[in-house]
Amino acid sequence: MLRNAFKMKLKPGCVEEYKKRHDEIWPELAKAHSDAGIFDYSIFFDEETETLFGFQKLTDENTAGDLPNLEIVRKWWDYNADIMETHPNNMPTFKPLHEVFHMD
């Protein structure tokens, strides 16, 4: 099992809309993530900086790197581009975070 953490930036005043959209996540998008070996996936929000912090666990055989090639993922990016900082193709900008401590 692998642990993956990253941060993304939300546009000001968009946290409620972001939460609403994720509360109503498309079943086919959730399935794509599960099929790619992603599980125990959480996103947290830092109100001071408008920063999202994502954490997920991945199977050793995961195919998470292939998700950007899926149409459903690109549709999700397009759907959320108005509330997040993104690249020109609407992929959210994210910064990987490196683990410095872990305790089971």
Q: What is the mean pLDDT of residues 82-100?
A: 97
CATH number at residue 33: 3.30.70.100
**In a domain? residue 58:** yes
**In a domain? residue 103:** no
Active site residue 102: no
Q: Which of 22, 87, 98, 102 is catalytic?
A: 22
| pTM beyond cutoff 0.85 | yes
- What tens digit of pLDDT does each residue of 28-85 get? 999 999 999 999 999 999 999 999 999 999 999 999 999 999 999 999 999 999 999 9
**In a domain? residue 104:** no
Total domains present in the chain = 1
**In a domain? residue 11:** yes
- Residue 86 pLDDT: 98
Domain of 74 in residue numbering reads as: 2-97
- Residues 98 and 36: their CA atoms lie apart, in Å, by 21
CA-to-CA dists, residue 3 to 45, 46, 51, 56, 76, angstroms: 19, 20, 20, 6, 23
- Residue 48 pLDDT: 94
- Residue 97 pLDDT: 98
User: 38, exposed or middle or buried, with CB in 10 Å at 0-12, 13-18, 19+?
Assistant: buried
* Residue 77: Cβ within 10 Å count: 17
